[in-house]
Structure formats: structure tokens, C-alpha cells
Structure 1
Amino acid sequence: MYRNNFLTNNRSYYNDTSLLLHLTTHHGYLAKYVLYSFSGENFENRIKLNWPKPFPNNNEDVPLLFQVDEDGSGFDIMGSVVSINGILCLRGFYGGKVKLILWNPTTNEFKFVPSSPDIFEPYRWYVKAYYQLVGYDRVKDDYKVIQFTTCTPHDLHESAVSFSEIYSLRTNSWRKIGIDMPRSCIRNDKVYMDGVYHWWDKSETHTDLVSFDFSSKSSFTTPVPSYIDDNSDHSIKVCRHLVILNGYISLILKYTETSTFHISILGELGVKESWTKLFVVGPLPCLEYPVGAGKKGKILFRRKDHELVWFDINTGIIDEIGITTSERCNILYHKESILPIG
């Protein structure tokens, strides 16, 4: 009954949303990013989106490390698996420097995120912002970006400096904050929902779900029971994937030897006992790994032949979408907004 209710319940989380598919391919040192939009009840309608062009193309005197050309070299999408208030946070390179850009695909409006005033002089320091979290502060009605930065001096006699800072769209400025995050949030296996970021923090003996609330700027953990995810048995090869499935935080475990997928959902944050294993799918040896989840129990997989396919938990049917990729890809939900950024 619980499983049937889970599959048939129409969550408001998905109302008026389309699905964006972000594909990455590499050509030498440069990356090319392509963005598709899927819409319709079963995401049957597909169009390729044009990236914004915030950088001038006609200034030959300015050295460009990365640029948006006619076929769309594109941008990396930072942070979350959902657009926030219709806005995506993009990362590109201009003049050898990393630039963050807020972009509304509906109106094609974009806004540069200013550089942090606390970043050290690049000619003396090697500066690396090694991860960013993008989210929404419900209390202050504010779009925010949290960045963790390490400045390593070229002079070996000086010490490296690390700090965290937060950007506020309301004030259009950065400020330092005292947040110590587990380095595990660097991984791509992260999800975002309702103003809270979630990712894995794994040790040799256990797995915890770490959650960060943008409103309170605090983090907390939800342990995963051993019967859901037993890290102690290293003889069993298991691949773990975190997704939002039908509006719930879900853990998909792929057991490589048996080609089966175990799917569990979290009922309540912070409550270990609220994890429930709902599905054991397979064996399906043709499926390589899940990219993300759609509506009504559909999960996007990359097949072993690199074809992207929908797998329907309800029917067990696999449908191709006509896209092949051999490199990184991810999906995110997007709700259109005609409001100006900020």
C-alpha cells in the first residue's frame, strides 16, 4: 500500500515544471556543455536551449580561455539539481578567470555575480574555489551562493589560507562566514529541495546524509540504517546514487554483481528509522547507472551502450530518448519565471 501510494501520489513539487538535461563533453582542455529542455506529461517534447552570451566575441585583444560559440560551448551549471525561482547559476571562464552568472532561461536575462573582495592577488596566490552550494533562504527571500576557497601562495615560505563565504543576491555582495563543511560535499552526488542541500558523508563503517539549511546556515545529519546501506562488507561492490524521486530524497544502490537496483526513500529528515526500502529492481545488466529521476516513478539511466533511457518503475518498460553520451550528464527541474533576477 505504501509503495502504491508513493507511485500514484501527484506531488506539487513537480507542478508546472520542465526537465533540463545537461551534457558535458571534453575536447582537449576545453569542455563543451549542451542543455536540453524536456516538457510534457511524459517529457516527450525536447528542444535544445541556447546559452546566454555574456562575454564579447568581437574583442580580439582580450584573451579568452573559454567562450560561447555558435554551436554552444556553454557553461557548467553550479550547485543544485533544480532551478531556484527560475534561475540557474552558471560557471564560465573569461580572460582566464572563473565567472559566475545568474541566468533565467525563460527570459534569457543574466546577471554577473561580482568577484569576492577577499580573493587574494592572483599573481601571488593560486586561488581555487573548490565547491559552491546554491540555494534559497526562505526567511530572507534571498538567492544565495556559498563558496569554499583555498589560496595557495606561490612563495613556499607562506602558508595556504582557506575560508568560506556567502553571496547574497539581495545585497549583491559577498561576506565571510564561519561554516565548516565536510569535504564530501565536493562530490557530484548531491540533491536540493525546499531550501536544503543534501549529500553523502561516508566513512569506512557507516553512511550519513548531511543536510545544509540555507535559512539557518546550519547542517545536520541523518544516518542510513545498515540494512539499507551496509558499508562494512567490502566484498560486495555497490554504487550509491542520491536522487529526488517523486518528491522524496531517495537512495539508489546498484549491486554490480547481480545487476539489481535497491531503491529506498527517506520519510523524515534527521530520523534514521524513516528510511524505507520500497523497490528491488532487476536484474537489468544493460543499465549502467542512474542519472536522475523524473515524474511518476521514471528514472533516467545511462545504458552500457551510452544511450540515455527512461526506466518506469511501475511497468518495467525502458524507453530511449535518442541521446547518447559517453561523459558526465545530469538532470534538473526547472519552473519558468518571468520575474527579473533579484
Structure 2
Amino acid sequence: MKGLNKTGTEVPEILVLEILSKLPVKFLTRFRCVCKSWSSSFQTPLFINKHHLNNLSNNNLNLLLQRCHGHSGEIHYFSQLSTEKGQNFMVKQNIHLPICENYSAEPEVVGPCNGILCFDAELKIGLWNPSTRQFKILPECSIERPPSADSTSLDAIGFGYDSLTDDYKVVRFVRNSFEYEFDGMSFYSHTITQIDLYSLKSNSWKELPDPGVGAGCSFTFTNYINGFYYWPGTDASGHTILSFDMVNERFSTLSLPEFDGSLAQNHLELVDFKGSLGAIVYPREGTLKSIHVWVMSGSWTKQHSFESVPGVERPLGFWKNGKVFLESSDHELVLFDPSTRELQNIGVDAYPNKMLIIVYVETLVPLNGMSELEELIMRRLPSWRPVK
């Protein structure tokens, strides 16, 4: 469908679509009703990619905060934070996902990858596009487990994009544990790890060879970077970094940066730092913390050091202009400006060590799932919190 300008002259369709690709998803959702041509154009890979690249180039960032409340932090939900100038990251709405119900542990959230998030709650996995408000529960894995295994649990999970086949993939490490009894008591004798890989395009699972490297959980930051997913890992020689190539579906390892102290004294978080693999190192103890950022560019180099930041529990994520979101020692969300060393209190709190900040750009990527309403996902005003 061509458009008309003020003089009544027709505007070429390619220019109309170029203009539309710069609009927020909520407007494009409404404009699908204008005509069939627009509706079908919005679903093409070319338009979806153009829209996403426009958001990236204009740095149109959105914020979700995973948080929880309750006596032991068992009530999990998300808060959509405003990114508009002058609104000080106020809570716009609270979002409750049923996949997080009846789950005493913290649900694992990985991503975003091109604006999509992946959830795991006791081996039940879902994908969520908060822009289009689509949610997809993945089918149960058909991979056969060892028949004599006494329990099955998740060790680690990753989520990323295969640019060669235009596919989104989930990889997870499943631990099968075997017990034996001695003198009336049960002990784990050994474990067997299986690697499951899910393809959104085929909507199916398959098994991958075990790389022989244990993968650890790291959910504070985005660990998907340019076609690879990264985990902190361990092998026969000690601590390492395990990576997975989403295109070739192969594992490899990297060394850790050579920071002062040990992992017993410091946290090490992997992070997407401006399109490169980064590592954030900070002390486990104390509330006066120095935060160091290392970046891999052929080799590890120390990129930034934020010395002696007061009243800090841990870093949560990067924001615009080099600013950093932190969890304070009072378990509130604060924004730190390294250039001025100013700490800005956002006025949002949560149960200790349960906050997760998610910075994403909008995307039209379809999940072939259900709408939020169909999945009973609730969005409510800031005064509302989910209760049991």
C-alpha cells in the first residue's frame, strides 16, 4: 500500500516501509489492521531485521527488572521500567508469568537475544517476546534419559541465534544422578551429563556430545554474544570459560582473565560488552567494592576499573553513557555514573540477591506461540504485586 503526503502525491511503498520500520512495536501491531500488504510486510525477515537494526542504531533500549518478594523471596515477577527522560526509571507495570508459579527457587532467565528471553523453571522452558507479547512453552524433550537415574536436574542453560539458518536455539546441560544406599542413608554415587539442543525453527530437540567441561550458571548478565553463548566452566585443569557456537553447534574453551585474587575471593560474571566478550570481577565480601571490567579482543585486557564504590552488593548491568546498574547493600536498585561517582537511587527494591536487570531492544521476531492473554500472563499497574 502506498502512502500520500500533504500534497496528495503518492509515496513509494519502499519509503513507507522504511518509515514504518522506525516505529515502536505497539504502533506496528495496530497498523497491521490498515491493510493486508502492511500486515504481511511486518512479518517478513527483511522488515523484522530492518526494524531491529533501527532500534539498535538509535539505542532504543527498554528495561525489565526481575524481582521477587515474600518471606523467602518466593514470589517472582517482572517490572517494566520507564526509559523516558525525566521519569527516573519509574515502574510502569508489573508482569507475572505463570511459568514462575509454584517454584521455590529463582527461575533462570537467559538473554535477551535479539529482544527475546528464555526461561527455565524446573526443566520447563519458555520463550518470551515482551515487545509482541508472545510466549511459547517449548515441547517436552524426547531425549531418552538413563533408565536407572534417580533424579534429573538442570546444570546450565544457554539461548542464542543461528544467523546461518535464521533460527533460535536453546542448549541445556541436564544432570542425571544415581544414588546408592549405605546403612540406611542415601548417597549420590555418580552423575551423567546430557546436552539437549532445541531449535525454534523445527520445534524439536536433539542430543549433542558432552564436551567434558562442566558449565556453571551465570544469569546476571547477557552471555550471548555474536553467535556464541558463554558459561563459566570447569575442566580437569580447573576453572575455564565454555563457549557454544550456535551455527556450527560446537563447544570450545577460553582461559579466564588474570585478575588479582582467586574465585574464592571474587565473583566473575560474563557479559556482552559492546559486542565483545567481557568479564566483570568484584569482591564477594564487603560493601565498599572495586569493580573491574575485562574484555576479550584476541587476549584479555582490563577495560575499566571502578574503584571503591560504597554501599554496593553487586553490579547488575550496563546502561547508556557508561553508567552501571547496581544492587545496593540495602537491596535497592541504584544507577552509578563512573565519571561523577554519583549513585542515583531508583526507588525499587527486592529480596536480597534476587534482582536481575534486563536491557533489550524491541523486536518483531515471531515465536509461533500464544499471546500473553492466552498464556494468562498478567500486566498490572505499579501498585499491584502478585500474591500467593
Alpha-carbon spacing, 1:288–1:221, altered in 2? closer, same or farther (3 Å): same
Q: Give, in whole Å, the separation in 1 of the partners of 2:105 and 2:60.
A: 26
Render the CA deviation track for 1:131-171: whole Å, top value 9, x for unaligned: 22111111111111112223346787x98653212111111
Alpha-carbon spacing, 1:161–1:204, altered in 2? closer, same or farther (3 Å): closer
Question: 1:66 aligned to 93, 102, 116, which one?
Answer: 102
Q: CA deviation at 1:125?
A: 4.3
Question: 1:259 aligned to 263, 266, 288, which one?
Answer: 288
Q: Give, in whole Å, the separation in 1 of the partners of 2:216 and 2:348.
A: 29
Q: Percent identity?
A: 25
Q: CA deviation at 1:224?
A: 4.1
**Which sits farther off after the overlay, 181-190 or 289-298?**
181-190
Q: What is the identity, as a one-letter code, of the residue corresponding to 1:299?
A: V
Aligned residues: 303
Match of 1:36 in 2: 79
Q: What is the identity, as a one-letter code, of the residue corresponding to 1:91?
A: D
Match of 2:143 in 1: 118
TM-score by length of 1: 0.73
**Which sits farther off after the overlay, 160-169 or 255-264?**
255-264
Match of 1:177 in 2: 208
Match of 1:304 in 2: 329
Question: 1:242 aligned to 270, 284, 287, which one?
Answer: 270
Q: CA deviation at 1:264?
A: 3.0
Alpha-carbon spacing, 1:160–1:336, altered in 2? closer, same or farther (3 Å): same
Render the CA deviation track for 1:190-218: whole Å, top value 9, x for unaligned: 62222211233468998644332211222
Q: What is the identity, as a one-letter code, of the residue corresponding to 1:115?
A: E
- Does the aligned pair in 1 maintain the 2:322–2:338 contact within 8 Å? yes
Matched, 1:219 2:255: no
Q: What is the identity, as a one-letter code, of the residue corresponding to 1:23?
A: R
- Does the aligned pair in 2 maintain the 1:52–1:108 contact within 8 Å? no
**Which sits farther off after the overlay, 46-55 or 166-175?**
46-55
Q: Give, in whole Å, the separation in 1 of the partners of 2:147 and 2:93.
A: 37
Match of 1:230 in 2: 260
Q: What is the identity, as a one-letter code, of the residue corresponding to 1:109?
A: Q
- Does the aligned pair in 1 maintain the 2:110–2:119 contact within 8 Å? no
- Does the aligned pair in 2 maintain the 1:54–1:110 contact within 8 Å? no
Q: Give, in whole Å, the separation in 2 of the partners of 1:40 and 1:109.
A: 22
Q: What is the identity, as a one-letter code, of the residue corresponding to 2:359?
A: Y
| Greater RCO structure (CA 8 Å; 6+ sep) | 2
Secondary structure, aligned partner of 2:252? strand
Q: Give, in whole Å, the separation in 2 of the partners of 1:244 and 1:124.
A: 37
Render the CA deviation track for 1:78-137: whole Å, top value 9, x for unaligned: 333x2x3432222346xxxx4222222223222221111124499984222332211111
Render the CA deviation track for 1:237-258: whole Å, top value 9, x for unaligned: 4333333344443333335579
Secondary structure, aligned partner of 1:44? coil
Counterpart mapping for 1:192-341 below 5 A: 192-201=224-233, 208-226=240-258, 229-231=259-261, 237-255=265-283, 259-268=288-297, 271-272=298-299, 275-325=300-350, 326-341=352-367
Q: CA deviation at 1:173?
A: 0.8
Alpha-carbon spacing, 1:105–1:260, altered in 2? closer, same or farther (3 Å): closer
Q: What is the identity, as a one-letter code, of the residue corresponding to 1:168?
A: S
- Does the aligned pair in 2 maintain the 1:124–1:155 contact within 8 Å? no
**Gaps spanning 5+ residues in structure 1: where?**
1-10, 56-64, 68-72
Q: CA deviation at 1:299?
A: 1.0
Match of 2:134 in 1: 109
Render the CA deviation track for 1:17-57: whole Å, top value 9, x for unaligned: 312211134656x83212122342677353234235579xx
Secondary structure, aligned partner of 2:139? coil
Q: What is the identity, as a one-letter code, of the residue corresponding to 1:264?
A: V
Question: 2:65 aligned to 14, 18, 21, which one?
Answer: 21
- Does the aligned pair in 1 maintain the 2:149–2:176 contact within 8 Å? no
Q: What is the identity, as a one-letter code, of the residue corresponding to 2:174?
A: T
- Does the aligned pair in 1 maintain the 2:332–2:345 contact within 8 Å? yes
Q: Give, in whole Å, the separation in 2 of the partners of 1:230 and 1:107.
A: 44
Which structure has the greater CA radius of gyration?
Answer: 2
The structure richer in helix per residue is 2
Match of 1:167 in 2: 198
Q: Give, in whole Å, the separation in 2 of the partners of 1:313 and 1:17.
A: 20
- Does the aligned pair in 2 maintain the 1:308–1:320 contact within 8 Å? yes
Alpha-carbon spacing, 1:153–1:119, altered in 2? closer, same or farther (3 Å): farther
Alpha-carbon spacing, 1:75–1:142, altered in 2? closer, same or farther (3 Å): farther
Q: CA deviation at 1:172?
A: 0.8
Q: Give, in whole Å, the separation in 2 of the partners of 1:225 and 1:148.
A: 25
Secondary structure, aligned partner of 1:240? strand
Alpha-carbon spacing, 1:176–1:210, altered in 2? closer, same or farther (3 Å): closer
Q: CA deviation at 1:303?
A: 1.3
Secondary structure, aligned partner of 1:115? coil
- Does the aligned pair in 2 maintain the 1:252–1:261 contact within 8 Å? no
Secondary structure, aligned partner of 1:163? strand
TM-score by length of 2: 0.65
Divergent runs of 4+, >6 A: 121-124, 202-206
- Does the aligned pair in 2 maintain the 1:239–1:253 contact within 8 Å? yes
